[in-house]
Amino acid sequence: MKTALQGLKVLDFTQMMTGPFATMMLGDCGADVIKVEQPEGDPFRRSGETTLNGDGAFFLGVNRNKRGIVLDLKTEAGQAAARALAAEADVLVENFRPGFTERVGIGYEALRELNPRLVYCSISGFDRNGPDRNRPALDMIIQAISGVMQVTGTEESGPLKTGFPFSDLVTALLAAIGMLTALQARERTGEGQRVDLSMLDASIFSQVPRDVYFDLTAKTPLRMGNQHWDIVPNNTYATSDGRDIMIITINDKFWQVLCDALDAPELKTDERFATKAARLANRDLVNERLAAIFATRDLDAWEARLSAAGAIYGAVRTWPEVFSDRHVVDKLLKTLPHPKGGEFRIVNNPLTFSATPTRIDRSPPMLGEHNDEVLTRQGGTWPAPTQ
């Protein structure tokens, strides 16, 4: 089976969440990813209270489709092995503290002399040339500093983190785009380059289009929970069986569709609700009326009515509901074995290609699992993977 990145050689020195997620996506598309760990291993192997045969759930979630080796970069032998692999790699990815790679002889300038075609991706928490370059950075810290936390939650709750590692994942997505862009440029120029990205910059970038709103108004967007500053209704409402349903009416047309589904034609002509401007001016009253109506029926009844009417809605599903959904089970979930026994399910790559589909053919590696395969090379060539 052909894959889009088949033959691409990726040397992955990253750990924790951001870098491993980025390289996992390259691996899903067929790249040969060699994950290089220090002797103590990626900290994510021991992170969290849930493990399988000693490996943390977080580690298992972002390290499939990789071969794993151990190199001690504090030793001359480890540094020499790293340089030998980098000399033939297409991509090198690292998220060490700024300055570390230079100290151990695998900085960009040194490796560019060995391999001018190398795409060298550095991921940091803060600008690696700025005053905070040596500060430790974790997802929630970056959410706080970037302003993401400031606009999440409600006025009553105060600033909240998102329910998933937003800064980690958005940085990983942008890093993957950056590496692929640099590889495309290499096709034209024949030369690699450095791709540099910080979690802070990626998180601030992700807040478009609110950046323009702030520039034009000098106002910080309000924390509005499930509501929207320019759309009413845009909120969740409780049903009679204690479930919640998300309702959005982006214009007057969909307000009328919603009113039909609610069997409340009087709301279409009530001057307090009939237009977008009126609904914005009477936000609390709109929410009060809709809350009373949705409380009269259970979720199933409302879903049937809203679907038939063509309304914009979505039930707030529980995780058991999401992961037992037939589409999710059939298309998105895949079971992988752990090398030491047992198995676990992961979410498959959602990208679908007609000619070069993604694949998952390797479980996350045990610590140093492929040292013999990778490091006992003959003639200095990049080691071909064994299946």
The residues assigned a catalytic role are 168
Do the Cβ atoms of 41 and 30 come closer than 8 Å? Answer: no
Residue 132's alpha-carbon distances to 146, 169, 198, in angstroms, are 14, 21, 11
Amino acid (1-letter code) at residue 306? L
Do the Cβ atoms of 315 and 261 come closer than 8 Å? Answer: no
Place of tokens 């053919």: 361
Class of residue 328 by CB neighbours under 10 A (exposed 0-12, middle 13-18, buried 19+): middle
Class of residue 202 by CB neighbours under 10 A (exposed 0-12, middle 13-18, buried 19+): buried
DSSP codes joined into one string, 116-176: TT-EEEEEESS-TTSTTTTS---HHHHHHHHTTGGGSEETTTEE---SS-HHHHHHHHHHH
Query: 3-class SS at 335?
Result: strand
Do the Cβ atoms of 67 and 33 come closer than 8 Å? Answer: yes
Amino acid (1-letter code) at residue 308? A
Do the Cβ atoms of 113 and 107 come closer than 8 Å? Answer: no
Nearest to 18 by CA among 133, 178, 145, 154: 178
Query: How remote is the C-alpha of 254 from its chain's centroid?
Result: 32
DSSP 102: H
- How far is 139 from 18, CA to CA, in rounded Å? 9
- How far is 274 from 253, CA to CA, in rounded Å? 10
Residue 173: φ, ψ to 5°: -65, -45
Nearest to 176 by CA among 27, 45, 69: 27
